[in-house]
């Protein structure tokens, strides 16, 4: 299930471009304007609910931090648990971590070791606002599988189509992007 061209246009038009942020030459896709547009946000969340209502999920996992916004709301709509995947050092209990490469170094994400232990055979949707090069998402999907759950799909509100993130990630998990950006 995908959105119509008209619905995609509503979402695209609700996202603001910020030029030269966080550094010169970058065009940052600011989702705060989508979040503050009640009609666009409702359209998006209803679409995600409809898409994932038949997946028999047990959890939605959101990537720190904007994935929390979409993930927690979607988990509540689907009647499943929400699990945060956070940057290193932000979770209070025993964690499992996964490193990933950055343009200029390495970073790390973590999940609680028992994040999915409240159900048998956990089926998890991974969600975030944007996929660019895919490093964070690849690490997050690996973490989900590492702690005994099954990442059945990775969902992104936007995909930067000119980068290789979606292709790389699709080698380990199916990927769905609501809207693509050239």
Residue-wise pLDDT tens digits, 76-94: 999 999 999 999 999 999 9
First to last CA, the chain: 21
How far is the C-alpha of 13 from the C-alpha of 2, rounded, in Å? 17
Q: Give the ranges where the chain is alpha helix by DSSP (H).
A: 5-13, 32-35, 38-52, 66-78, 135-146, 165-169
Q: What is the pLDDT of residue 179?
A: 96
Q: For residue 97, give Cα distances in angstroms to 31, 165, 180.
A: 27, 20, 29
Q: What is the pLDDT of residue 21?
A: 94
Domains annotated on the chain, with CATH: 56-181 (3.40.50.2020)
Q: Within the chain, what is the greatest distance between any pair of CA atoms?
A: 48
In three-state secondary structure terms, 5 is helix
The 8-class DSSP code of residue 108 comes to E
Q: Which parts of the chain sit beneath pLDDT 50?
A: none
Q: In this structure, are residues 124 and 116 in contact, taking their beta carbons and an 8 Å threshold?
A: yes
Q: What is the pLDDT of residue 104?
A: 77
Phi, psi angle pair for 110, to nearest 5°:
-135, 160
Active site residues: 66, 103
Q: What is the pLDDT of residue 105?
A: 83
Q: What is the pLDDT of residue 10?
A: 98
Q: For residue 40, give Cα distances in angstroms to 5, 31, 113.
A: 14, 11, 35
In three-state secondary structure terms, 72 is helix
Share of the chain above pLDDT 90, in %: 92
């Amino acid at each position: 299930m995908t959105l119509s061209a008209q619905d995609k246009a509503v979402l695209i038009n609700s996202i603001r471009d910020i030029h030269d942020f966080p550094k010169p030459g970058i065009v940052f896709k600011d989702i705060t304007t989508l979040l503050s547009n009640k009609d666009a946000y409702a359209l998006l969340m209803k679409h995600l609910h409809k898409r994932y209502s038949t997946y028999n999920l047990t959890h939605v996992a959101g990537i720190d931090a904007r994935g929390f916004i979409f993930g927690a709301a979607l988990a509540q709509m689907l009647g499943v648990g929400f699990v945060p995947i956070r940057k290193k050092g932000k979770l209070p209990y025993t964690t499992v971590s996964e490193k990933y490469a950055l343009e200029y170094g390495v970073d790390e994400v973590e999940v609680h070791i028992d994040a999915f232990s409240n159900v048998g055979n956990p089926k998890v949707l991974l969600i975030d606002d944007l996929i660019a090069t895919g490093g964070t998402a690849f690490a997050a999907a690996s973490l989900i599988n590492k702690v005994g759950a099954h990442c059945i799909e990775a969902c992104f509100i936007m995909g930067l189509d000119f980068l290789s993130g979606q292709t790389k990630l699709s080698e380990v998990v199916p990927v769905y992007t609501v809207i693509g950006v050239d």
